[in-house]
Amino acid sequence: MEKNLPSREKKNKKKYKRGKVIGIFVGVLLAVGIGYGAYLYNKTSNAVQKASLSLARGEKSDLREEVVKPITNNVSLLIMGIDENQERQKEYNGAFHTDALLLATFNKDDKTVKLISIPRDTYTYVPIEKKKDKITHAYGRGFVKNGKDGGPQASVEAVEKLLHVPVDYFVKFNFNSFIKIVDDLGGIEIDVPIEFSEQNSKDEPEAIHLKKGMQTLTGEQALALARTRHIDSDAMRGQRQQLVIEAILTKLKSAGSVTKIGKMIDAVDGEFKTNLALADMLSFYKYGLNASIEKIQLAGDDLYLPNGPKGERVYYYNPDTKSLRELSNILRIHLGLSEQQIKKEDGES
């Protein structure tokens, strides 16, 4: 019995050394993980600070009694896709248009999201112009009148006037940032409704060709699907934009996508603007992981008016008044606000 003691002690020492090595290895991994996590957080924080843009109105919408926060309150988020690229920068000198305009409302109690697409040619009262016009023009008019940061404010005001719903937060991105986000996610899965050809982000004619059916789209292809105006109506274009946004959210929620956040931060760094703080962004991300999304369309009809420079007819998308009133109250109730009677404002026609 006693002769076996030394061998047992040796085994115990080997186990101790092995355990110590494993412990050190695990400790190193944890340290690296924590360090990388801190690195990503700091990187994200820096990118968000660069993207920070406060609206002239302040934190609170004029249609709110107090400031609201994601998860704590029911809130709304306006998503603005700007038709900005290098070629258009020279042509428009910063006075771009909103090529995509979507409003999302978030209800914290039932964990639901209502996502409405607003056609770019929607005919509505635009406060920055003090007259009715295409809602897409609000951004450029705001830029011309109030400088480079005036675009988002003007678009927010126009959407609030149209829907009679407070816009609490906004995110504005351009062509480049959209393409990079989709590409860094490894593409998105979309059921393309019809075969078509479309210009790319550099406005090169028919540079993108897509066939009908379910497929994985690159950033350029997804942008072409969201932008094209030649395969269906202005309203259907909005539906395609909703599908693209939903596909991006689905990919973000899928396994492994979170590890790509670092690359995505690099992609959009300097190419997007928002009034969201980092904590607010993280709240939206956590909220979106399990939220149910309902896609809603703005009903309306085609309208042609002789508003061109030489009196030529100009196309507009004219919202149906009754449907618009119903939609407004649906969104207000979803935000926990009271229904209201919508009347024409002073200056509207």
DSSP secondary structure code for residue 61 in this structure: -
22 pLDDT more than 70: no
> What is the reported pTM?
0.82
Give domain status of residue 326, yes or no.
Answer: yes
Q: Is there a domain that residue 208 lies in?
A: no
Q: Find the CATH number of the domain harbouring 176.
A: 3.40.630.190
**143 or 94, greater pLDDT:** 143
Closest CA to 77 of 99, 98, 101: 101
Alpha-carbon gap, residue 131 to 141, rounded angstroms = 12
Structure tokens belonging to residue 167 = 């816009």
Structural domain including 59 reads: 45-194+231-334
Query: Is residue 163 in some structural domain?
Result: yes
Of 8-17, 33-42, 133-142, 302-311, the least confident: 8-17
**Residue-averaged pLDDT of the chain:** 83
As a whole number, mean pLDDT of residues 12-23 equals 56
Is there a contact between 267 and 47 (Cβ–Cβ < 8 Å)? no
Q: List residues bridging with 296 in a β-sheet.
A: 116
- With respect to residue 203, please indicate whether it lies within any of the assigned structural domains: no
Whether 126 has a pLDDT exceeding 90, the answer reads: yes
Is residue 134 domain-resident? yes
Structural domains in the chain (count): 1
161 located within any domain: yes
Flag whether 211 is in a domain. Answer: no
For the chain, helix (H) and strand (E) counts, in that order, are: 10, 14
* 260 part of a folded domain: yes
- Residue 307: other Cβ atoms inside 10 A: 15
Hey, is 274 helix, strand or coil?
strand
Residues in the chain: 349
Cα atoms in the 13 Å half-sphere on the side-chain side of 40: 14
Residue, of 20 and 299, whose pLDDT is higher: 299
Structure confidence at residue 349 (pLDDT): 43
Q: Is the pLDDT of residue 31 over 60?
A: no
d(CA 282, CA 313): 46
